[in-house]
Structure 1
Amino acid sequence: MPTRNLLLLFILFFSFVACDNQLAFSDYRSFTKGWENTDTLEYSFEAPDTVNPYHLFFNTRVNQDYEFNNLFLIAYIQFPNGMQIGDTLEYEMAYPDGELMGEGFGSVKESKLWYKSGVTFSEEGTYTVKINQVMRKFGKVEALDTLKGIMDFGIHIETIPKQEN
């Protein structure tokens, strides 16, 4: 029994030491049957501060049901004053041979995708990031009803290490 407690204590200690101290905000949405084209993901957060710059990332977890080499998104960031900036984004998700990019073993891969670099939240208050997937089959005009293979999609806001400033 003491060995089991010692192992649990070691795991907890290592988890705290290994935590990412650069993370200012993180939130995820999970999908059971895929990301429907009518699902707008929305992440709201308070400005961490109004002086320091931050990097914004999207994080995905996909499985082998993801049948595309890329991912097209439309993302908006809304400022506390109501102003909004939109971006159409494309990310590579697989190699030319179809193997999924990202970290992980087996059929599930996690990818950290750049969204914005060096962002200063100059206004105090609540910021909101909204994201839609806008994937289409090759040669088709209409959007996919459901983007299969997406298990989780999230946003990370990280402080920029001092050597990057």
Structure 2
Amino acid sequence: MHRLLGMWAAAVLLLLASCDPARVYEQNVDLPEGSWQIDNAPVFEFEIQDTTQAYDVFFNIRYNLQYDYYNLYLRHQLIGPDSTQLSAKLHEVLLMDSKTGKPLGDGSSDIYDLQALALDNVTFSKPGTYKLKLTQYMRRDPLPHIMAVGIRVAKDSASAK
């Protein structure tokens, strides 16, 4: 039942995303058994052609309400077309309101999808293929009830042409 609901939600998100002219790239990966191992660090590759455009990078997180924490620490590493590291940072993503416990994002039943702004108004100096690596930085390994992670790269709304 949950799998069918998840597939339906993914289809709806895909349909909505296909109508989004700002989106340059979006990819999500399912995590085995709904747990995120520290050594499972997905790498997302996306193409940038327009170096005059500013972009926003979002983290996509699908989680189950059985998740034990209200937040998720993760680290990104952004690698340029020439294999140099352009940025690396530790992020705290709030999955639930810390006071009320209310889940953040969109969901139904016990599965929620959250899109959190990670990098704002980024410009890429060279056209080419960029890589963004995500690593979970919680104290628990594996980290249960994180079902999928991904990224979305979109034209920055303030500078979109």
The TM-score with structure 2 as length reference comes to 0.81
Aligned residue among 143, 148, 153 for 2:149: 153
Q: CA RMSD in A?
A: 1.8
The superposition leaves residues 5-58 of structure 1 with CA deviations (integer Å, 9 ceiling, x where unpaired) of xxxxxxxxxx58971121100111102321111111100112131111111001
Q: CA deviation at 1:151?
A: 1.2
Structural mapping, 1:16-55, within 5 Å: 19-33=19-33, 34-55=35-56
Matched residue of 1:104: which SS? strand
C-alpha contact 1:48 1:121 (8 A) present in aligned 2 = no
Q: CA deviation at 1:160?
A: 2.3
Distance 2:38 2:147 in 1: 15
C-alpha contact 2:17 2:23 (8 A) present in aligned 1 = no
Distance 1:135-1:48 versus aligned 2 partners, 3 A rule: same
1:98 aligns with 2:101: yes
Q: Which has the higher strand share?
A: 2
- Percent of residue pairs bearing the same amino acid type: 28
Select the structure of larger CA radius of gyration: 1
Aligned residue among 108, 129, 132 for 2:132: 129
Q: Which residue of 1 aligns with 2:82?
A: 81
In the alignment, structure 1 segments of 5+ residues that lack a partner are 1-14, 137-143
Q: CA deviation at 1:61?
A: 0.9
Distance 2:39 2:55 in 1: 30
In the alignment, structure 2 segments of 5+ residues that lack a partner are 1-14
Distance 1:22 1:74 in 2: 25
1:118 aligns with 2:138: no
Aligned residues: 142
Q: CA deviation at 1:65?
A: 2.5
